[in-house]
Structure 1
Amino acid sequence: MKKLVKLIPVMVFVFFASAFTNSASLDDGYDVGDIIEDFKLKNINGDFVSLADYKDAKGFIITFTCNTCPYAIAYEDRIIALDKKYASKGYPVIAINPNNPNTKPGDSFEAMQQRAKEKGFTFPYLVDEGQKVYPKFGATKTPHNYVVKKTKKGMVVKYIGAIDDSSRNPDAVQETYLEDAVDALIDGKEIKLKKTKAIGCSIKV
């Protein structure tokens, strides 16, 4: 009995240490310099899309966004503009909706299809079914943005964070963080600001 009593505190400590470690690894996600795993997610047209499908891409602007968050809505036109500016230069936009539609019915697959049609999205709008992809990235907000570059080793994260410094008012933008990052990659220069704070709504689980 004494041995059992001695073991219980140790077991409790191991359990909580393990839980903390697992939680931290999920929350952290990719950092700048990490190589990301490819994914295969359903697009609004029913086709499945992966990064490997884009043979000529030099990299990607990956944005976790949704239909319902006011911040995400405020950025829609800017995301469309990013795709129009950079897709032809080798950095297309890939949009992913990470929200659980059972929690947010406005982020259902059908609602995604309708929103993309209304806004005229020029890029894939993918659904993270089962919410398996966004935790790997460490995304916590909508929108949360990642710029990745194709290398011989794989897709390397080059920028993480916000699109710019004005989350709700495009007319007040002074710092274009994401554009600056992509421009630097295209010009073969070092990105000056590689991480910023993503501002938006929390991802709904």
Structure 2
Amino acid sequence: MVVMESQVVLKKGDLAPDFELLGVDDKKHSLASYKDHDAVLVIFMCNHCPYVKAKVDAINEIQNEFKGKLAVIGINSNDAVAYPDDSFDSMKEFAKERGIVFSYLVDETQQIAKKYGAVCTPDPFLFNKDRKLVFHGKIDNAMKPEDKATEKTMIGVVEKLLAGQPLAKDFDPSIGCSIKWKN
């Protein structure tokens, strides 16, 4: 298991790269699908990573906390040939087993992960109403799968964003498994 830390590719104020990806609901999703939301949280994730497994409940909590205001979008960009646990069928199974309440999409070409500069799972990107990047960083302060979070970083950031308050920082790296790139 290769552990990676988020990198800065998209800068604060950059527009969210658009996408059209298939979700576990068998529907195509794009940024426009979420136009009625005040903010969008794009999280690069997968099924097999212990860091992601440890964060699913926290991600569901974020979606439930800001339902209707914030769209949470999970994107799996892993190579499903080399990592069959991350196949589309496995994504559907994982979403059902884990009670995922947010959109979970597959990025088979890996082009979306590259456009965002995602390197690890989970790798969260928060965008405002204008779909400009305001925060790229961790979900909470539990940096190992076995750690217990004592600070809900992303919830605090989203609360400030939705209240129109300034954010203390725009980058606070997430840590997780490396995205499994195709050769």
* TM-score (normalised: structure 1): 0.81
The reply on whether 1:146 has 2:125 as its aligned counterpart is: yes
CA distance in 2, matches of 1:180, 1:169: 22
Matched, 1:59 2:35: no
Partner of 2:61: 81
What does the per-residue CA deviation read over 1:23-75, in whole Å, with 9 as the maximum and x for residues that have no partner?
xxxx7531221112221100012210012012311111111111000001000
Cα separation, 2, equivalents of 1:119 and 1:83: 14
Task: Give the equivalent residue in structure 1 for 2:170.
Answer: 194
CA drift of 1:169 comes to 4.2
Whichever structure has more strand as a proportion of its residues is: 2
SS at match of 2:66: helix
Q: Tell me how far apart the structure 2 counterparts of residues 169 and 93 of structure 1 sit (CA, whole Å).
A: 24
Native 8 Å contact 2:17 2:112 kept in 1:
no
- CA displacement 1:90-133 (0-9 Å, x = unmatched): 11211101101012110000000101111121111100011010
Q: CA deviation at 1:145?
A: 0.3
Q: Distance in 1 between matches of 2:155 and 2:11?
A: 19
Where does residue 20 of structure 1 map in the other structure?
Answer: none
Amino acid in the other structure paired with 1:199 = I
Q: Which residue of 2 aligns with 1:176?
A: 152
- With normalisation by structure 2, the TM-score equals 0.90
Q: 2:85 matched to which residue of 1?
A: 106
Structure 2 runs not aligned, ≥5 long:
1-6
SS in 2 for 1:38: coil
Preserved contact between residue 181 and residue 193 of structure 1 (Cα < 8 Å): no
Q: Give CA-to-partner distance per residue, 1:150-195, whole Å, 9 cap, x none.
A: 22xxx1001001111103246x323322112111111110011221
Opposite residue 12 of structure 2, the aligned amino acid is V
Runs (5+) with no aligned partner, structure 1: 1-26
Indicate conservation of the 8 Å contact 2:19/2:31, yes or no. yes
Question: Higher helix fraction: Structure 1 or Structure 2?
Answer: 1
- The answer to which structure, 1 or 2, has the higher relative contact order (CA under 8 A, 6+ apart) is 2
Match of 2:102 among 123, 126, 130: 123
Are 1:164 and 2:140 an aligned pair? Answer: yes
Residue 5 (structure 1) aligns with: none
Aligned to 2:16, which of 36, 46, 63?
A: 36
Q: Which residue of 2 aligns with 1:136?
A: 115
Contact 1:180 1:191 in 2 (8 A): no
| Identity %, equivalent residues | 34
